[in-house]
Structure formats: structure tokens, C-alpha cells
Amino acid sequence: MSRDSDYGAFMEKFILQPSSSPHQLPLNALTFAVKEIFDVDGHVTGFGNPDWARTHSAATSTAPAVLAVLRGGATCVGTTVMDEMAYSINGENIHYGTPTNPCAPDRVPGGSSSGSAVAVGASLVDFSLGTDTGGSVRVPASYCGIFGFRPSHGVVSTTGVIPMAQSFDTVGWFARDPVILNRVGRVLLQLPVVDPVRPSHIIIPEDCFKLLSIPSDRTSKVLVKSIEKLYGGHIVKHASLGDYVMDRVPSLAHFFKGIETQEYNIPSLVALSSAMRLLQRYEFKNNHGEWVRTVKPVLGPGISERVQEALGTRDENIDVFPSVKSELRAALTDLLGDFGILAIPTVPGPPPKLQTETTTLETFRVRAFSLLAVAGVSGFCQVRSLSLSLSLSHTHTHTQSRGF
């Protein structure tokens, strides 16, 4: 199969069979692909960059998350293209080509798990594995019109996965339909088969929907009607998430400096995003700064600037982040209870056109990370559904299944 016929999604193709007889196993007869950030025994984990691949040897073991779905009965068919060093949500790669968005070929597929999302969206595999630090499963799932799941932070092993920023790194997965999304999730989360739990309430934060580039009533009203049809209108609650976070997360005061207010945004969520990206840069520098300085890799536009910014990050305000996280977790726990759902847009609009100048995307990026930071900082799970909005569930007991 050529690069054209596989939508440019794959880095390397090979077959890894289930480790035991697949009959009666939950993922029997399903195929999957993995982002080339996961170790696969005998293969170089390329991290989206040829200089990285050139300076690293082949893995000597396979990541536990990959082994888990193999043991579940699925067959791996290869590794997928990703944004360099996982440092973009666009999905463009100047070295290996940009996987073609099957929904909109003239637009970016989303990243950094671009190839994994495209492989699923183009029906090349049944499901795929990716990672989500700042949005790298949720964004490409949204752009490619498929389901994507970011689990609660720390519940799926990231051993054998190249770290981007450990405080936020999660192993996520993609599927075209909720049944397969559920089955893969039960394997990775080691959950028993149980009846779905009815949500106690679903919160619609109207301020978040105003970040959208299309009229918010075209999305929030459709969402509310769907909820009313499924569960009845009594469980729908409306809120201003920005005001709530402002009141309940006082430690964010350290991150309001320099926030622009002339274009519509939600200051407390922009501050939340600023806190998240500061720690992300700091941890990225600690993980990869020495390699970048030594090897001086060739990096694409946007990513090169981001990496250099990360290398210059100091530890100012880093020690405030644990307070921000604990305050936000407590606030969302109070808001959602055990069975509540917060329904928010994944991204503020359709995917940008291919090769759009980085500077013209700045407003879009600010709004996108304002939305993405809610799950990123809290560590709560988030499912990207087939509507414009997605659900974020509070899950101390890991009951992610109710998002399916």
C-alpha cells in the first residue's frame, strides 16, 4: 500500500499478532495502529523526527499499553506519523509528510497523534493508540470526525512511551464507533463489564460555547435537545465555567499577567492554559533539552520556536502549579459529583487549512488551549464524541465507561 493509498498515516508497517488465541477475547479480529511514540520491541521509536530516530537504537521491549491490547486479541499493523516530539496540535510534519484528513483533505488532521486519528478516520484500522498531553488525542479526533478518549491521568501505564511532559501525559485511543471505543477502554482500564451509569446532571457552560467560530446556539441547542431526548430536560444545568474557576481556583492569580482581553476569551481558562503550558515547557526541557542542545535537530516551523521557548523556561511559578491542580480538582469534584458530566467544545472551530501561517492561528490556539486545559490540568478524563461538544467526566473510581 502506497503512502497515497494509506492517507500518509503510517510510518512503518508490520504485523504483531495477539499473544494468545484471540477467540473469546474482547478485541478479537480487530486491527490497530500505534503512534510512533510507543516502544515496539525491535523497532526504533522515532518520536516524529528523523534526527531522533538516527540517534536512538531500537526498543528492546514493547510498551505495556500496546501489550494490553495485543493480549486483548487485537492485531497491530504498524506505527503512525506524529508531530515532531509531540509538540503541536496541528498534525503537520515537514519530514514525513502530513497525513491526509479523510474528512477535509485541504485541512490539517490535528496532532500530535495525527496518523493514528487518520488511520481510524480512513477505515484503515478499527482503532488506534495515541497520546494526549495538551490535546493530542482530543484535537485530531475532532478534526477527523471520530471518537477519541483521554483517560484520567495516571490510570493507563505510560511506561515505554517517550515522555513529553509527565504531569499531563496520557495514553489515549481512537475509534469510529462507541462500541469499539468502549471495548478498547475496558481492556486498557481493566474494567469489568457493567451496565452504563446514568448521568446525574450534565452541565452546559455557555461561556465556553461562545468561544466557537460558529454561533453557539447552533451547537449548544442541539446538544441540549439530544440530552433532553435521552435523559429528560431535568438533568441539564447551565453554568459559567470561567466565573466558577475564577472563584474556586485562587492560585491562578499568578498566571493572569499578560492575558489579552480585546478578543473574546475566558480569562480564568486562559490563565489555566498558561499554567499548564508553563509546566509542560519546563518538563519538556528537563526531558529533552540536553538532546536538543547536543544534536541540534532540524525541526519544522512552529515546533522549532516552541522547543526553543521550552529550553529557555525558568522555574518561576512552577511551585504554584500543584495548588492550581488541587484547587481545580476540588472545584470540579464539587461541580460534578460522582456522576456528573461537563459538556464543552473540544476546539473553537473547524480544522485550519493546511500550511496556515503559525501567527494567524494564535487566537485559535489561545481559545483551543483554554478549552483543552480543563481536563489537562485537572487530570479528569475527556471523551471526544461525534458532536462538536465533548464530555468530561469526574472519575475518582475510573468509571470512564459512562462517557461512551
pLDDT band (50, 70, 90) for residue 259: confident
Residue 400 in this model has a pLDDT that exceeds 70: no
Find the catalytic residue in 113, 136, 389, 393.
136
3-class SS at 170? strand
Per the annotation, the verdict on 35 as an active-site residue is yes
Q: Are strands 31-35 and 127-132 parallel, antiparallel or unpaired?
A: parallel
With the C-alpha atoms ordered 91, 219, 363, 353, is the resulting torsion angle positive or negative?
positive
Q: What is the pLDDT of residue 196?
A: 85
| Per-residue pLDDT tens digits for 299-343 | 999 999 999 999 999 999 999 999 999 999 999 999 999 999 999
| Per-residue pLDDT tens digits for 66-99 | 999 999 999 999 999 999 999 999 999 999 999 9
Find the catalytic residue in 88, 112, 220, 370.
112
pLDDT band (50, 70, 90) for residue 3: low
The whole-model pTM stands at 0.94
Instruction: Give the strands of the sheet with 340-345, arranged side by side.
Output: 10-16, 75-80, 31-35, 127-132, 170-175, 147-150, 381-384, 389-393, 340-345, 201-205, 236-239
| Per-residue pLDDT tens digits for 191-241 | 988 888 899 999 999 999 999 988 887 888 999 999 999 999 999 999 999
3-class SS at 76? strand
Burial class (CB in 10 A: 0-12, 13-18, 19+), 215: exposed
Q: Does domain 10-189 have CATH number 3.90.1300.10?
A: yes
Per the annotation, the verdict on 251 as an active-site residue is no
Q: What is the pLDDT of residue 360?
A: 83
CATH 3.90.1300.10 domain range(s) in the chain: 10-189
Residue 401 in this model has a pLDDT that exceeds 50: no
Per the annotation, the verdict on 167 as an active-site residue is no
Nearest by Cα to 84 from 284, 368, 279, 282 = 284
